[in-house]
Amino acid sequence: MSSASVQAIGLTKVFAREDMNATLQALDNVSLTIQPGEFVAIVGTSGCGKSTLLRIIAGLEIPTRGEVLCGGERVTGTNPKRGLVFQEHNLYPWLTVRGNIEFALKAAKKFKGSAARVRKLLEIAGLEEFANSYPHQLSGGMRQRAALIRALAIAPDVLLLDEPLGALDSFTRMNLQDEIISLWRGRGSTMILITHDVDEAIYLSQRVLIMSPRPGRITAELPVPISYPRNRSSSDFVQLRNEILLRLNFAREDMEEFNL
């Protein structure tokens, strides 16, 4: 079991829009601190900079200002200690499900003696029978599951999830949410989940960060003081959901006022 803290200090990101000779500010002075082993969810409307924030933490994007510390060390690039599950599954179409997982293991230099783990992961994802199928032969949900276990295979200290269940029906989604909780509790890694599903954020995380758009900022932070396993219809749950929705709405009204 390993995990690491994540600390973002004053992250600002400005994108160049070369086609229009303009710039677009996606993040404005975003700071956050996440304890080792903590499960944090980030919610916010579409386009508010959630993916950008996650990509900076992963080391894929260089912040314009500010920095990210992971386990106290400054993030300067990607590292297999920080795994990322992308918004699209991004499986390699020329590799089978097993091939995709093995690719990850080889890239992270963890391939030796991994056969049993791979089998276990395939079992967790319910993909044993599809280990030798190519991504185009799978359903959307199966692809998403495969992408999830591919990231899990290399046992990252920090797992960054960018709407990993976004494309799924609510039934599959709930199943996978339970899978994610049990994986997290089993492995104890730090989790940062992006979602625009408020229920999902409350159901999974210990703390919900709310982002507002243009430029992206963290406007509120709400702890989820409910013990696992959580009941989606319990009164605490519902109350928290209302509060988050209210704050998200505020964020929207703020913006509208700003625009007017």
Partner 1 sequence: MMETVAANSAGVSSIWELRQIEARPKSRRRLAWERALTALPAAALVLVLLQYKLAPNFKTTSVYRTTDIYTWFISAALACALAYFAASLASRRVYERLTRSAPIYTAVALLFLGYDRLTLKSGVLPLPYFPWPDKVLSAMYEDRVMLLDCVKNSLVLLFSGYLTGAAAGLVTGITAGLNKTVLYWVSPLIKVLGPIPSTTWVPIVLILATSLFGGSVFLIALGVWYPVTMTSLNGIQNIRPANFEVARTMGAGRLRLIFKVAIPSAMPHIFQGLTQGMSMACAALMVAEMMGVESGLGWYINWQRGWAEFAKMYSAIIVICLTFTFVNAVLTQVKRRALRWQEGGAR
Of 194 and 222, the one with the shorter C-beta distance to partner 1 is: 194
CB of 131 to partner 1, least distance (A): 13
Contact region with ligand ATP (CB under 6 A), list: 4-12, 41-49, 126-134, 173-181: 41-49
Contact region with Mg ion (CB under 5 A), list: 19-27, 51-59, 124-132, 184-192: 51-59
Q: Give which of Mg ion, ligand ATP, partner 1, none residue 140 binds (C-beta under 5 to 8 Å, depending on kind).
A: none
Contact region with ligand ATP (CB under 6 A), list: 42-50, 66-74, 97-105, 131-139: 42-50
DSSP assignment string, the chain: -----EEEEEEEEEEEETTTTEEEEEEEEEEEEE-TT-EEEEEE-TTSSHHHHHHHHHTSS--SEEEEEETTEEP-S--TTEEEE-SS----TTS-HHHHHHHHHHHTT--TT-HHHHHHHHHHTT-GGGTT--GGGS-HHHHHHHHHHHHHHT--SEEEEESTTTTS-HHHHHHHHHHHHHHHHHH--EEEEEES-HHHHHHH-SEEEEEETTTBEEEEEEE---PSSP-TTSHHHHHHHHHHHHHHHHHHHHHHHHH-
Distance, in Å, from the CA atom of 74 to the CA atom of 129, rounded to the nearest integer, reads 41
Sites of contact with partner 1 (CB under 8 A) = 58-60, 77-80, 82-84, 86, 88, 90, 92-96, 103-104, 106-109, 134, 136, 154
Of 35 and 79, the one with the shorter C-beta distance to partner 1 is: 79
Of 96 and 189, the one with the shorter C-beta distance to partner 1 is: 96
Beta carbons within 8 Å of 139's beta carbon, 6+ residues apart: none
- Please check whether residue 51 is in contact with residue 162, taking contact to mean a CB–CB distance below 8 angstroms: yes
Site map (CB under 6 A) of ligand ATP, residues 138-177, x = contact = ----------------------------------------
Nearest to 83 by CA among 180, 210, 10, 227: 180
Considering the rule CB under 6 A, would residue 26 count as an interface residue with ligand ATP? yes
- Contact with ligand ATP (CB under 6 A) among 12, 14, 15, 174: 15
Of 118 and 211, the one with the shorter C-beta distance to ligand ATP is: 211
CB of 66 to partner 1, least distance (A): 20
Q: Give which of ligand ATP, partner 1, Mg ion, none residue 58 binds (C-beta under 5 to 8 Å, depending on kind).
A: partner 1
Rg, Å, the chain Cα set: 18
- Contact with ligand ATP (CB under 6 A) among 4, 7, 28, 52: 52
Of 16 and 115, the one with the shorter C-beta distance to ligand ATP is: 16
Residues binding Mg ion (CB under 5 A): 51
> Under the rule (CB under 6 A), what is the footprint of ligand ATP?
15, 17, 24, 26, 44, 46-52, 87, 196
